Structure 1
Amino acid sequence: MTADDAQDHPSRLIDARIEQLSDWRGAMLARLRALIHKADPEMVEEVKWKKPSNGMLGVPVWEHDGIICTGETYKDKVKLTFANGAALADPQGLFNSSLDGNVRRAIDFSEGDTVDEDAFTALIRAAAALNAAKAAARHPSRKGRPK
């Protein structure tokens, strides 16, 4: 990897985004990111949708057999949008945004919010399991990932 490649590596771009925020939103995004990786150590980070409105930094995306969730920051919230959230059980009621759609669901975190780590970890793992099941259905010869 060259120096330029390292600078554009998705993890480094997400690091830069968190550092740029330098307020509670950066701290919250960093916390959620750590929990995502704790829940699924095989999670892959990507950055997508670079455009002027997000300072060309793009949107952090966490993937495992497809998109698990995206992490966007706004003036008053950090929003994690789960690509297949409508298909996930949410017994603790973490989803509090984008509840009208048939596919996605989101969690909006505001300043001072706490994260229910157990429920959040379970949601990430459920999303990864759903993606793995969909991938296995698309490719029946593929072995399922360990549980």
Structure 2
Amino acid sequence: MAKSAAQSSKSPSQLIDARIEELGDWRGQTLGRLRALIKQAEPKVVEEWKWRGVPVWYHEGMICTGETYKNAVKMTFAKGAALPDPAKLFNASLEGNTRRAIDFHEGEKINEKALKALIRAAMVLNESKAKK
């Protein structure tokens, strides 16, 4: 699927705004909330739009993605296997050596404090790798 002219003229942030609005249900609300938490954890985060419509957040490297599916909003941490997860938020993609993900389902409460700590830990890990 090629990018439309309208998509290519919009910033990644505008495309993410449009996706949230387009979903128009709990998935859009959840993706919007996750996005807000990421920005609270790191106001300087950079938003990108990749792989045919997946929001991606960066700080000194990829932090995470925000994928939407019929029954879940998946937040995949690029280096999740290397992150401490004392609140046991990771519940998907647990078998790999690198990535870890959190699937959010309709009606589930987000542990905002633990999620922001996980996001900050991902940023610290990226910063430590960038300095080497």
Under a length normalisation based on structure 1, what TM-score does the superposition of the two structures give?
0.84
- 2:14 aligned counterpart, secondary structure: helix
| Greater C-alpha radius of gyration | 1
User: In angstroms, what is the RMSD of aligned CA positions?
Assistant: 1.3
- Look up the equivalent residue of 2:38 and give its one-letter code: I
The 2-side partners of 1:88 and 1:64 are apart by 15
- Look up the equivalent residue of 2:97 and give its one-letter code: N
Matched ranges for 1:42-121 at <5 A: 42-50=44-52, 58-121=53-116
The 2-side partners of 1:85 and 1:5 are apart by 30
Whether the aligned pair in 2 keeps the contact of 1:7 and 1:13 (CA below 8 Å) is no
Name the structure 2 match of 1:19: 21
- 1:80 aligned counterpart, secondary structure: strand
- Alignment size in residue pairs: 127
What fraction of aligned residue pairs are identical, expressed as a percent? 64
Query: Which structure 2 segments of 5+ residues have no match?
Result: 1-5
Aligned in 2, Cα 1:5/1:100: closer, same or farther, shift over 3 Å?
closer
Under a length normalisation based on structure 2, what TM-score does the superposition of the two structures give?
0.93
The 1-side partners of 2:114 and 2:8 are apart by 34
> Which stretch of structure 1 is more off in the superposition, 4-13 or 106-115?
4-13
The runs of at least 4 aligned residues of structure 1 exceeding 2 Å deviation read: 4-7
